[in-house]
A = this chain, B = another copy of it.
Amino acid sequence: MKIRAAFLGLCLAASAAWADPQRAAQLRDQALTDNTAWQVLESLTTEVGPRPAGSPAAARARDWGVAKLTALGFSNVHVEPFAKRAWLRDAEAGEIIAPFPRKLALLGLGNSVPTGPDGVTAQVVVFASLAELKAAPASCCAGKIVLVNQPMTRTQGIDGYFTAVAARSAAPVASAHGAVAYLVRSISTSTARAPHAGAMQPWKAGERAIPAAALGVPDADLIAHMAMRSPVTVHLALQSHVADTTAWTVSGEMPGSDPKAGTIVIGGHLDSWDPGTGAIDDASGIAITVAAAKLVGATPHRRTIRVVMWGSEETDGSGPAYLAAHRNELDSIFIAGESDLGADMVYGLQLPVGAWNAPDIAPLESVLAPLKVMARPMPPEEAGSDVEEIQGAGVPVFALSQDASHYFDYHHSQDDTLAIIDPERLRQNVAAWAATLSILADTNADFRKVKK
């Protein structure tokens, strides 16, 4: 078996136009001792920290991105500005007034409206799930504060999040039931008290906008426990404002040998929520893709690899702006992918339907196997929200599936910091990305044709 494998490797290497699994394996192994991703991640979280789109820190992040890509040897480093209507947090506080006074750990939701300076004081109606709120009579909540205290299920993939996160945008349901404010248990798998920020859908015309905030998991439970004894009264004072600002997407390239072969677009998002330093969301995605592109860029490769730091993922997504700015070059984007689910182990590579049958892609399965990354033959479930618009416009996408079991312990909270990053797992991500990019940069497959 060993002899046959080596012989196969030699055969493939002899065909210069094809992707080279031996080179991919070399890059994989090189990545496992390369600290570039750690250095990038440490640099962004230490020097810039939290960086919501529209905040002064976002401009510092832009400058950081340009300097970092330039220092790492990327070409064509540039900044793409776009208009951004930003929601920005101001002073926030909440407390239980009765029956047992207690301060609450909370964060206003993005796109929430402020309470006004006097705040809102009202009795809380607790629902154990969003379904229970939807099924409640319209009269349930007039003048009340609605709390949906639905726990999130821990899953390896992102399905636990997709199920739970609906409650974060349920303020309109509470409003339709007459509520004066909406509280949601943090979309979190942790028991920690730190609340998890996040955006709700913007209010639509005809809806009665009410303030909305996420409570720390134990705080939501506390209200539920008190409510079993007697009515719970809560006071909320949530200030925020909306501003018309500029956001910036930063990108740089590792040029390939064949300008006609198209460009591979990868990256992560540069903006973050405000409570932590955005280490897993998404300094890690930037770090992983920058480090992998740098490794592949240092070896002969056919296609240009572009690393993009998208500038406004958290509130509306940067996808529409990126599509608008790149509509004329969509045909030349060979494939796209985003890393935006932390820094835990990659466990699967999802390619467009049929791609694994391409003769110079099939060997990638064996290159990834030692990393415990499996080939996933279905189309990507989720290639990243910043690439979904160009995906919708016809650009093929791929996805390296990350273990999300613990991602939602930290996501959007003050606990998303460098302290939760495991450097070894981070390198495993870079290894999987570098091997994959190496094959994608050279393959003769055409995913637009394979797909049909």
Contacts and interface: CB of A to CB of B under 8 A. Distances in A.
Nearest to A421: B191
Specify how many copies of this chain sit in the oligomer. 2
Contacts of A217: 419
Interface string A390-415: 00000000000000000000000011
B49 A191 contact: no
A191 B226 contact: no
Contacts of A226: 46
A24 interface: no
A278 B49 CA distance: 31
A46 B193 contact: no
A226 B277 CA distance: 14
A128 interface: no
Given A105-B414, A193-B414, A194-B194, A419 B100 contact: no
A221 B419 contact: yes
Interface in A13-64: 42, 45-49
A419 B217 CA distance: 8
A170 to B, nearest CB: 22
B105 A193 contact: no
Interface residues of A, number: 28
B194 A225 contact: no
A130 interface: no
Given A194-B194, A225-B42, A417 B218 contact: yes
A420 B194 contact: no
Contacts of A277: 218, 222
A49 B100 contact: yes
B225 A420 contact: no
A218 B225 CA distance: 32
A182 to B, nearest CB: 22
Interface in A211-227: 217-218, 221-222, 225-226
Interface string A67-102: 000000000000000000000000000000000101
Given A46-B100, A221-B419, 11 more contacts: A47-B229, A49-B100, A49-B102, A105-B414, A193-B414, A194-B194, A194-B414, A218-B418, A221-B418, A222-B418, A225-B418
